[in-house]
A = this chain, B = another copy of it.
Amino acid sequence: MKKSLVALALMGAFGGAYAQSSVVIYGTLDAGVQKTTNTANTATQITKRDNNKLGFRGVEDLGSGLKALFQLEIRYEPDTGVIESTTRPLFQGQSRVGLQGAFGTVRLGRGLTAYQESTIAFEPWSGLPNVAGYQTNLQVAGYTSDPLSAAGNSGNRFSNAIWWNSPVWNGFQLNVNVASKEANGSPAIIGRGTAAAPQYGANAMASANPYSISATYTNGPFAAMLATERNAIETKLWSMAASYKPTTALKLMATYTKQDLEHTVAVNNEVDAWVLGANYTVGPGKFLFGYGQKSPDGQLKTKQISVGYEYSLSARTYLYVDLASKKTPLTATATSDVNQKHYALGIHHNF
């Protein structure tokens, strides 16, 4: 018998009944007090240390070892309640759907690139995008994964992309990620052109398909990564990283990354960077240490040292303190650097 229109509408679907799924709501709310000297905004601020997330995900068992999976993740600022930026998508974190089986996992949509997702495990702040951590600058040698998106957008994701993560074979996993060339509302990029004839015009399409590949290996206390990526304006990146746990309480990390800007920059078009890190767990506490350098050809180096402490109130909630000192030029042509001191104190809650 035909269901009434209203009954169908309330089911949220036309054209077929379907089993109720179990959507998991998850997220992070991280807020604290911070201050950074020698920056555009040196005031004491209420702000975040981690990304703030509100996400929805689910896995459907299709039988025979096959699963369908989806994930949608909102990102927002906890201190003002806004989404991360007016030019960022509602589901800035990710929006992906795919299948998982003996062949690994295939997903379509938007998310962290294969490389950006893999490098997090080798960064002493676990990839948290804050001033004390290294993820968004030194860990990636200043590279951006998405230069042809609107200004203010995220720099470590692909939109319009497909992902393949292999199964884990004896500790080894391959992650491959390719994006279409679709335009995404970027401003013009002069590059090797001129202001009148920029190398990439406003709302340009990629000149080649962006891709990202990482290979990871884990063997007991040892883990390593090799990765390469090319973005929409053909900037290339290579990275290698390793970690070792001499005891269960201590994790040592090292990363080396090289960015090649030759496609858009005529001279001084390489940047390399390295980061050393350690995490040390003592009871409910965890100490974080990091030191790193970024060396762009023909520019002053950036050097950063950081120390952090996380005190767990539970598996989901911790308090944190960060201290960092960064010597960095304020512009690419600066002939002297400044010393930015950073202080942070706050609470991190996963739900």
Q: Does B95 contact A59, Cβ atoms closer than 8 Å?
A: no
A270 within 8 A of B: no
Interface code A48-67, partner B: CB below 8 Å = 1, 0 otherwise? 00001111111110110010
Please state if B73 and A95 are interface contacts (CB–CB under 8 Å). Answer: no
Write the nearest CB–CB distance from A160 to chain B, whole angstroms. 4
User: Which residue from chain B places its CB closest to the CB of A70 in the assembled complex?
Assistant: B29
A329 at interface, CB cutoff 8 A: no
Known: A82-B89, A90-B83. A28 touches B13 (CB 8 A): yes
CB neighbours (8 Å) of A159 from chain B are: 79-81
| A52 to B: closest C-beta gap in Å | 8
Contact A160 B346 (CB under 8 A): no
Q: Which residues of B contact A62 (CB under 8 A)?
A: 313-314, 317
Give Cα A350 to B168, complex, Å.
28
**Does the CB pair B58–A351 fall under 8 Å?**
yes
> In angstroms, how far is the closest chain B Cβ from the Cβ of A207?
13
Given known pairs A12-B57, A78-B109, A97-B31, the reply for A180 and B71 (CB within 8 Å) is: no
B46 & A99 in contact (Cβ 8 Å cutoff) = no
Contact A98 B347 (CB under 8 A): yes
Residue of B nearest to A58 (CB): B351
Pick from B14, B60, B69, B315: contact of A314, CB below 8 A. B60
Contact A5 to B175, CB < 8 A, known contacts A12-B71, A46-B182, A108-B32: yes
Across the interface, name the chain B residue whose C-beta is closest to A92: B81
Residue numbers of A with Cβ under 8 A of B are: 1-2, 4-6, 9-21, 23-32, 41, 43-47, 52-60, 62-63, 66, 68-74, 76-83, 89-100, 104-105, 108-112, 117-118, 120-121, 126-127, 159-162, 165, 167-168, 171, 173, 175, 179-182, 184, 205, 216, 218, 223, 313-317, 346-347, 349-351
A-B contact pairs, 12 of them (CB 8 A): A5-B117, A12-B73, A18-B350, A29-B70, A31-B109, A32-B108, A43-B180, A46-B180, A46-B182, A60-B351, A68-B314, A98-B347
